[in-house]
């Protein structure tokens, strides 16, 4: 399922202090927010690689969510927007997504690469940028 270059959309990174602190990286694609949980601070410099675990898609209206998810509900904890902006899709294949981010903290060309031996595990890294 390859998509053409130049497609643009929004992205958000939400710092999520739940049972474990992590960052939810979300790209607006296919009418939803494609989502990955990143256990450590997302990379802002080339050479830093982060595990990104694919999680369920979220509705588009979740892109602006900040607040507290009550105890007893899935994802209970505090959610704050860590970064947001737009992105331009460079290429999309089943095991690799390349895109240019234009956010406050995350700017430049990024890649998500799927581990073929682990169903939900991806690597998120910055390949170049300002």
Please indicate, yes or no, whether the overall pTM of this predicted structure exceeds 0.85: yes
Report how many domains make up the chain.
1
- pLDDT tens for each residue of 38-96: 999 999 999 999 999 999 999 999 999 999 998 888 888 999 999 999 999 999 999 99
DSSP letter string, 1-61? --B-TT-EEEEEEEEEESSSEEEEEEEEETTEEEEEEESSPPP-STT-EEEEEEEEEE-GG
Q: Which two tokens stand for residue 16?
A: 């999520």
Range of the domain at 85: 8-128
- Asked if the structure places residue 99 within a domain, the reply is yes
Whole-number average pLDDT of the chain: 91
Q: Let me know: does 25 contact 38? Beta carbons within 8 Å.
A: yes
- Reply yes or no on whether the pLDDT at 3 is more than 60: no
- Asked if the structure places residue 2 within a domain, the reply is no
- Asked if the structure places residue 13 within a domain, the reply is yes
- Asked if the structure places residue 1 within a domain, the reply is no
């Amino acid at each position: 399922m390859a998509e053409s270059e130049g497609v643009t959309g929004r992205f958000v990174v939400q710092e999520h202090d739940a049972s474990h602190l992590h960052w939810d990286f979300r790209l607006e694609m296919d009418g939803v927010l494609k989502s990955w949980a990143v256990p450590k601070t997302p990379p802002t410099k080339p050479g830093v690689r982060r595990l990104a675990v694919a999680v369920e898609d979220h509705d588009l209206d979740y892109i602006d969510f900040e607040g507290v998810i009550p105890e007893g509900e899935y994802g209970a904890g505090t959610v704050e927007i860590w970064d947001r902006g737009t992105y331009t899709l460079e290429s999309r294949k089943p095991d690799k997504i390349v895109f240019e981010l234009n956010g406050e903290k995350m700017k430049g060309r990024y890649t998500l690469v799927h581990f073929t031996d682990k169903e939900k595990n991806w690597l998120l890294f910055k390949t170049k940028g300002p």
